[in-house]
Amino acid sequence: MLSTPRIVLVVTGLLCLALFAKLWRDPPAVPSYLESTPLGSHGHFSGNAPAEESETKGDAYEGTDADACTGLERLKDVVFVLKTGASEIYEKLPIHLATTFACGSDYVIYSDLEQQFGVVPIHDALASLSHDIQDKHEDLAQYRLLKEHVAGGGDAAELKGEKSWGLDKWKFLPMVTDAYKRFRETKKWYFFMEADTYVSLQNLLLFLNTLDERKPVFAGAQVMIGDTEFAHGGSGVVLSAPAVKAFNASYLSDQLSWENTVAGECCGDKMMADVLLKADPSIKLHTSFPLIQGETPASLDWSEKHWCKPAVTWHHVDAVGIDKLWQFDSEWREAHGAGEPTLFEDYYKSFVLPQIRAADGKMKGWDNLAQDWSFRNGDDDNPASKSAKACERFCRGEDHCLQWFWSPGFCKAGKVVRLGWSMKNRPGLGSADDRIAHFGEEESKKAVSGWFLDRIEAWQTAQGVCDRSPWRVSGN
């Protein structure tokens, strides 16, 4: 008779054999981003396998992938150019490999350090700055320190902070010309994004469809600094191949003087617009807000200006938020096809309304970012800030007030719907850090956010049915 340990051994051995045999027959699927050769060659496109075929294979990876990417074949015309930094790359890049770049599109990643990230080469955008700047300019002290730190065995993430962020503006201009050197006119479109930008793939394609790739196109969320209207970088920036070509000529014909200008300017995205304005012929911004915009589903003002438009991008979204948006978009494509735009209305109905309804219009320890009225204790004679009840009563008394927020001594109220975030643990939809109000522990516990569901629903009804036809592409 076999003793118990021997039985265990034999059984384990048999199980191992069975598992080995199974693996032998069905090797695990490789996600498409690993199959595609990253850069500078062109990744292959794996998203057009017929759905039935992958389903019969019973292969979880391929099944999901094929379905999630159906209808996105025109991504082959686009190269995604993602800008990040060595101190945040491990935190922020992986999610894009599993979502944004999972449908076989070409992409190229720029950072402030050259490295190999798994199978993905990461390019140092600063490496093509002139040597004088790299070696001596005070702005780049952090760049030199970073290289030393990493060469000495340090972790780049230890250098996270303001100073690393200070390198950011220097990356923009060299990144554009370097991407052009790699892709030239093999791509119709260049899409520039940051590691906390979410881009809806079907909406991006539907938006690009409304633009003429044979012309020099520069599109993004407009911001003014001085007299320059530029495209906000974190919201995502679109350049057609002719625009990138003109950018290259404009920048490289006068690189030294552009570098000197960057030193005195706040922001690299503004400089991008300056280089394009100086191009021959001059290229002006195609203003694309709010399709391209800088909010998250948690921070957005859900108003008429957005409601019936496709949401091409979101910004300040963390990995959890990017995944949620991705799941939503891929389910949308499966249900409606990639030719059907996803409007802000649709995101609202999935990311905002259900939360407010589930909470029955009231959440504790939550900041809903109401901001059209603001009262504080002692400021004035309005008693709204005295208690949550008083704050709610104030909002009820104003015809257009949809939501209110109270914390000890403060009452705020708003005419547009915002979801906001938990004051303690921020939700996975991310947030614009500079707009997080800082409350003490006690205040956070007592704070309350309220929404008037009756009014909100009446507002929604008043928006009517959105006309999707300007964006829709049939048979996509």
CB 256, min distance to ligand NAG, A: 13
Of 195 and 244, which has the nearer Cβ to ligand NAG? 244
Compare residues 279 and 300 and give the one whose CB is closer to ligand NAG. Answer: 279
Which of 55/185 has CB closer to ligand NAG? 185
Q: At its nearest, how many Å lie between ligand NAG and the CB of residue 171?
A: 18
Taking the least distance from each CB to ligand NAG, the nearer of 146 and 179 is 179
Smallest gap from Cβ 177 to ligand NAG, in A, equals 7
In the complex with ligand NAG, the residue whose CB is nearer, 249 or 437, is 249
| Smallest separation (angstroms) from ligand NAG to the CB of 42 | 16
DSSP assignments along 27-51, one per residue: PPP--HHHHS--SSSPPPP-TTS-H
Residues 6+ apart with CB under 8 A from 189: 77, 78, 79, 208, 213, 238, 239, 240, 241
- Binding residues (CB under 6 A) for ligand NAG: these are 180-181, 184, 248-249, 252-253
What is the closest distance, in whole angstroms, from the C-beta atom of residue 172 to ligand NAG in the complex? Answer: 16
Residue 186 CB, shortest distance to ligand NAG, in Å, is: 11
- Choice between 215 and 305, CB closer to ligand NAG: 215
What Cα–Cα distance (Å) separates residue 22 from each residue in 9, 12, 31, 60, 135?
Answer: 20, 15, 19, 15, 56
Tell me the CB-side half-sphere exposure of residue 83, using CA atoms within 13 A.
Answer: 27
Cβ distance to ligand NAG smaller for residue 180 or 314: 180
Least separation in angstroms between CB 247 and ligand NAG: 9
Question: Which DSSP string do the residues of 64-128 spell out, in sequence order?
Answer: HHHHHHTT-GGGGGEEEEEE--TTTHHHHSHHHHHTTTTTS-EEEEEESS-EEETTEEEEEGGGG
Closest to ligand NAG by CB, 190 vs 344, is 190
Whether 338 contacts 202, CB under 8 Å = yes
Strand partners of residue 78: 189
Q: Which of 55, 19, 39 is nearest to 97 (CA)?
A: 39
CA gap 437, 69 in Å, rounded: 39
Q: Which long-range contacts (CB under 8 A, 24 or more apart) does 376-384 make?
A: 376/409, 376/410, 376/411, 377/409, 377/410, 384/411, 384/413
Residue 429: what are its φ and ψ, rounded to 5°? Answer: -80, 5
- Least distance from ligand NAG to the Cβ atom of residue 249, Å: 4
Alpha-carbon torsion 12, 16, 21, 27, what sign? positive
User: In the complex with ligand NAG, which residue's Cβ is closer, 6 or 215?
Assistant: 215
CB of 182 to ligand NAG, least distance (A): 9
Q: Torsion-angle region of residue 81: left (phi > 0), alpha (psi -120 to 50) or beta?
A: beta
